[in-house]
Structures are given as structure tokens and as C-alpha cells.
Amino acid sequence: MRIRGLPEIEGRALIDMFRELASKKLGLVLEDMDIDLAQWAGPSLQDGTRPAVVTFAQYAMKQKVLDAARLKLRDSPYVLFEDLFVGNGENLTELAHQRGVDACYKHISKVFFYLRNFLYYSKLP
């Protein structure tokens, strides 16, 4: 899962910042065993935040976090979304954000893109 809106603070681990975000904003308590990997993914953005990637140990916990984020983070500076790839390795999530899409996520075999107040979906190949 990719995260946008977290500031990079010297001396604070990304995994701790993400667990705090999940606790305070999403109402979810994440244990050490729930998160496989948390790392920064790219340079800092103009607003002082830096994109991050979090990998979960279990798919069910990842879905729980994504579902809570869709409901509770709408009017916040934080954005959590699935890191979507297609068969040729093309990163749909990164392409969507480069083209100004507000959010995108996958459900079964469809990819949903939110562009301001418009919802668009596409079937995966």
C-alpha cells in the first residue's frame, strides 16, 4: 500500500508513524507482526511530505486498513491506496497520480479511479 501525506521526521521510524496514523485517524491498532515492511518511496514532495510504501503480513489486515482509510481520511492530508500493478509491471497507481487522479483502488477484477467528483472504472486485463 502507498501512503502520501506523512512528513519525514528525523529520529522517527516510518513504521511507528504509520501505526500512530492507523490508531489516531483510523481507529485500528496494528501490532508489529501485522506490518512486513515500511519504507520511504521516493523524494520529498513540495509540501514537505514523502511517499511511503507499507507491506502487510496478511491480506485481510491490508483490506481492513484500506476500507477504514476510504471512510475516515476523505478530508485529511493523508492518502492511502493500493499499489496496483498489471502483468507487464506497469504501476497503475503511480501513473494515475502523475495524471492527476485523486485516488484509485482495485476491487476484484476492476480498477476504480476517482478524478475529483467523477468515478471511472476499468477491467484489468
What pLDDT does 96 receive?
A: 60
Q: What is the pLDDT of residue 23?
A: 94
Residue 68 near residue 74, CB atoms below 8 Å: no
The series of mean pLDDT values per 10 residues for the chain, 125 residues long, is 87 92 94 90 82 89 91 86 60 60 58 55 50
- pLDDT for the residue numbered 105: 58
3-state helix, strand, coil in the chain (%, to 5): 30, 30, 40
pTM: 0.66
C-alpha cell recorded at residue 65:
486498513
Q: Measured between alpha carbons, how far is 70 from 103 in angstroms, rounded to an integer?
A: 10
Residue type, 111: V
Q: What is the pLDDT of residue 51?
A: 86
The string of pLDDT tens digits covering residues 20-43 is 999 999 999 999 899 988 988 878
Read off the C-alpha cell for 122: 476499468
In angstroms, the Cα distances linking 5 to 44, 53, 56, 80 are: 10, 12, 19, 9
